[in-house]
Amino acid sequence: MVEMGPYRRLCSCCLVVIVASLVGCSKVETAAQHGVKNAWTIPGVLRIGSYEDLDNLNPLLTTQAFVTDVAQMVFSGLIDFDDHANPVPDVALALPTPRNGGISADGKTITYHLRKDVTFSDGVPLTSADVRFTWQQIMNPNNNVGYRYPYDQVASIDTPDAQTVVVHLKAPKASFVSAFMRNGNIGSILPEHLLKGYADLNRVAYNNRPIGSGPFVIESWEPGTLLVLRANPRYWRGPPKLHKIEYRIIPSQNTLLTQVMSHNIDLYYDAPEVQYATLETVGGYRITRVPNMTYEHIDFNCRRPPLDDVRVRRAIAYGIDWKKLADDVYFGLDTQGMADTPPMLFAYDPSVTPYPHDPVRAGALLDAAGWRAGPDGMRRKGGDPLRIDMVTTSGVTSRLKAEELIQQDLRAIGIAVDIHNYPANLLFATYGNGGVIAHGKFGLSLYAWEYTNPDPDDTNLMGPQSLPPAGENYTLYADADVGQWQRLGESHYEHAQRRPYYVLIQRRFHDAVPFHTIVWRSNIDAVNRDLHNFKPAPAVSDFWNAWEWQI
């Protein structure tokens, strides 16, 4: 899923306010002429507020979830996911199935047929060669790609004609059909005619103003400040209903709330739970809250002492009051969890529940691990204090509050927690770009993973073969049993045959505690009532149908 997780940046709040007020002079007259409800609406122009900076506009070279949102507007994939988390065709004519001949009898050959009327925004047709080229770039070891799974499960790709892609898998893989070239990071289709010939794509000029085949084209990008998109007149579904999108990067969720209250933005998405009640009081907006396959969680760095000792990890799990976090930080608006399988998926095991808050049991585990409490109550072993560093993204109010509560809980059992937070583009950069989490520069990390494919397969996030730089298993927990169960779960296409393996995985995660989920979040969006056809989704991206948006 991918993550992906949290984000944001710190730069240009003042500039955003100035720009908004300059545009504001003509708002009342323009809105009235178009008969909209809000005087501050600018017909045809959508102002989006985002608390995260974007580390790259080339979706191949990032794992940030917010870049997936941008990719929905600029690029296309073979498939996408709708507001019911169902895979739907994008430039593919249909989702391959055994019934339509798209999946072979042995489950190892997947065939996609492409639409004939799709072009990149520069007018060059998108063909099967672009799909194969994108796969080749994902697999190019010179590219700073965050992960290569499941693309590394492909033995070869044939392109018998411009509209046909035949994928030969090394083995049957149930989740592959909806994961391959899913629009978003590491899945959006890149233009071969513009990028062919480079040894790598890490620093090509294309990354600052990429050309895709989606509903919008990039007009300008000021990193940390503003991304401006214009309607793509060549979009295969027809020109989108919006003329312009201003994607404003505002580094603080509190500032974003202020921007909503002053009506300077039309869409504030992924708002924190702490702001939900306040947002509901702001006139002119509707507030959506959709249960989502995004889990807010804590990763344990299982290779860094003392967290390489499962007794210490379990002690921390018992020491943290997970229900208090869910109630006080996330205001009871979300569903508690422990493992990484969403309650809405067929593989979910309801018996895997959060660790109870039990400081006594936590203390006993620390004693057994050799960490003894001193006169000041803090734990030491051989004279060394039990200190653990914790990271998250700066500016995300809910996570900062969660850090404070976790720090207090762990201090109560004798563990000192040192907090070091980073902007999203540093924290979540890929391994090749020196990402803090990808390089294991943490003890505990607090962030969210988003499901980029609504399927229980978590090989890329927790597989023993997926440690960075090969994948996104940032816990560095490598369990051969988990790897075997993941392979067996993917070898079957029927849910009933797959589920037992994912139940085993969830129970192993509970016992080994390489991570602990806090809540399965609900997507909270503040939406200008004049914005029509905005349909928030339970997985992947709320921006999946941006071509239909109208204001």
Residue 348, both tokens: 């979910």
User: Structure pTM?
Assistant: 0.81
H helix intervals, 354-395: 359-368
**Per-residue tokens: 8:** 């944001």
For residue 451, the model assigns a pLDDT of 84
Residue in this structure with the two tokens 């344990």, named with its chain if needed: 300
Q: How far is it, in rounded angstroms, from Cα 458 to Cα 147?
A: 13
Using an 8 Å Cβ cutoff, are 430 and 387 in contact? no
pLDDT score at 52: 87
CA distances in angstroms from 266 to 23, 84, 222, listed in the order given: 13, 24, 20
Report the C-alpha gap between 414 and 336 in whole angstroms: 26
Provide, for the chain, the percentages of residues in helix, strand and coil under a 3-state DSSP scheme, each rounded to the nearest 5: 30, 20, 50
Homologous superfamily of the 292-522 domain (CATH): Dipeptide-binding Protein; Domain 3 (3.10.105.10)
Domain parsing of the chain, residue ranges: 292-522
The set of residues, in sequence order, having a beta carbon less than 8 Å from that of 19 and lying 6+ positions away, is: 226
Predicted local confidence at residue 35, as pLDDT? 55
What secondary structure letter does DSSP report for 180?
A: T
How far is 249 from 48, CA to CA, in rounded Å? 8
Report whether 444 contacts 300 (CB < 8 A): yes
Cα angle 430, 433, 436 (rounded to 5 degrees) comes to 65
Q: For residue 500, what pLDDT is reported?
A: 98
pLDDT tens per residue across all 551 residues of the chain: 334 433 222 233 332 333 333 333 333 334 444 556 899 999 999 999 999 889 999 999 998 889 999 999 999 999 999 999 999 999 999 999 999 999 999 999 999 999 999 999 999 999 999 999 999 999 999 999 989 999 999 999 999 999 999 999 999 999 999 899 999 989 999 999 999 999 999 999 999 999 999 999 999 999 999 999 999 999 999 999 999 999 999 988 999 999 999 999 999 999 999 999 999 999 999 999 988 899 999 999 999 999 999 999 999 999 999 999 999 999 999 999 999 999 999 999 999 999 999 999 999 999 999 999 999 999 999 999 999 999 999 988 899 999 999 999 999 999 999 999 999 889 999 999 999 999 999 999 999 998 888 899 999 999 999 999 999 999 999 999 999 999 999 998 889 999 999 999 999 999 999 999 999 999 899 999 999 999 999 999 999 999 999 99
List strand residue ranges (DSSP E) for 162-276, in order: 164-169, 216-222, 226-231, 244-249, 267-268
Helices and strands (DSSP H and E) totals, the chain: 16, 19
Which pLDDT belongs to residue 251? 86
CA dihedral 128, 97, 471, 523 (to 10 degrees): 100
* Strands of the 379-381 sheet, one edge to the other: 372-373, 379-381, 384-385
Q: How far from the centroid of its chain's Cα atoms is residue 142's Cα?
A: 24
The β-bridge partners of 230 are 217, 244
φ/ψ region of 216 (left if φ > 0, alpha if ψ in -120 to 50, else beta) reads: beta
Name the H helices within 40-165: 65-74, 128-139
Phi first, then psi: give them for residue 22, nearest 5 degrees: -65, -40
Q: Considering only CA atoms, which of 7, 140, 120 is closest in space to residue 67?
A: 7
Residue 1's pLDDT is what? Answer: 34
